[in-house]
Amino acid sequence: MDDQLVKHTDNDGEEKEIDLLELAETLWKQRKKLIIWGCIGAVIGLVVAFSIPREFSAQVKLAPEVTDTKSTGGLGALASMAGLGSGATAGMDAVYPQLYPDVVSSVPFMTSLFNVPIHTKPDKEGKSQTMTVAQFMDEETSSPWWSAVIGLPFKLIGMLKSEDPEDPNHKLNPFQLTKDESDMVEALSKRVTASVDAKTNVVTIDVQMQDPVVSALLADTVVARLKNYITDYRTNKSRQDLKYAETLNEEAQANYYKAQQRLANYLDRHQGLAFKSGQIERERLENETSLAFSLYNQTAQQVQKAQAKVQETTPVYAVVSPATVPIKPSAPRKVLILAGFIFLAVVACAGWILFLEPTLNAYKARKTTEA
């Protein structure tokens, strides 16, 4: 088959040949129309690109402490080779790195960010605004103009519906959110995301906001909250054991001091007496004091062990890449948007010239002939 010809089969099973050079010649003859359509696509692309608000992205990469998987033997190695990561094989730790994205996107975690104080980038006069994340999302975050046009019918429908008046004493309750709070959680979860590398377990926190300073500050806050959450989980059992050991130690200390005081009082009252019954009573009090001191000493050692256990179970995170205030916006990518609209316009024009226009002309000619 000639390189300049392409064969294809239509619905009737008949083979037709398309001359690529003929198609190219047809497009070249209509190059002015292609240029006009491309210019129209460029204008639309510029309007769209400059209508989208600028977004700034701040990233933090941290490497959590890897749980020891020696007890899993060959199973841990096989899981690592399969790409499951070491965290999935750690039976002693239910919240492994692969679950960190779920923790970050959870409703309690997102609602905990509502009242985080942040400040915006200073303006030309050097002034910056201080507000909460919820206020920034509600007052300082804008959308493209077509979002308002698309959402206008829904707003009109909502205005016609009767809504319950807002409770002035309402408090944020993650268990039962209002519609505005639910929308805020959904919007914030799209801007605050977490991902995990299955092989290295490196956790990446990505925060995208319309202010560079806010994105960096919120990224640091998310990392700190995530560290606290995992630390509280990992050390919960150890902290409970420490609290129990401290309670026993305080009780043993009080009993020891009481036994000491009883022995001292007895010696003060019976000084110089040599009765056998008095010697027996003295030995009994001394034994009680010695036993109380032994228990006090043992519980003090248990407290020290519990403190060491808390320190041992506290996870350590290495911040591979800290948050920095982004200089350039991450979105919108104006060049790609412009190139995309020009490409779509040229392709649409080519489709009209090569296929739709000939089909429409043939249909008109047939109608004219029949008439």
Structure tokens at 49: 């690109």
Note the residue count of the chain.
371
Mean pLDDT (the chain) is 83
pLDDT digits (tens, 9 = 90+) for 310-319: 998 888 888 9
Whether the predicted pLDDT of 309 surpasses 80: yes
**Are 254 and 113 within 8 A, CB to CB?**
no
Query: Which pair of tokens denotes residue 190?
Result: 């799209």
Least confident of 140-149, 253-262, 280-289: 140-149
Q: How far apart are the first and last CA of the chain?
A: 41
pLDDT in tens, 5-49: 444 444 444 444 567 888 888 889 899 999 999 999 999 999 999
- From residue 117, give the alpha-carbon distance in Å to each of 129, 131, 235: 10, 6, 28
As a CATH number, domain 52-67+82-143+177-235+316-332 is 3.30.1890
For residue 55, what is the DSSP state? B
Q: Domain extents for the chain?
A: 5-49+336-360, 52-67+82-143+177-235+316-332, 241-311
CA distance 348 to 370: 31
Q: How far is CA 72 from CA 81, 87, 232, 315, in A?
A: 14, 12, 25, 20
56-72: pLDDT as tens digits: 999 999 998 765 544 44
pLDDT at 165: 61
Residue-wise pLDDT tens digits, 96-128: 788 899 999 999 999 999 999 999 988 878 888
Read off the pLDDT of each residue in 216-228 and give the average, rounded to a whole number.
94
Furthest-apart CA atoms within the chain: distance in Å: 144
Q: Is the pLDDT of residue 215 over 70?
A: yes
Query: What is the H or E stretch that residue 118 is in?
Result: strand 117-119
Quick one: pLDDT at residue 163?
A: 57
Q: Which has the closest alpha carbon to 198: 79, 61, 84, 351?
A: 84
pTM: 0.74
- CA-based angle 195:197:202, to the nearest 5? 85
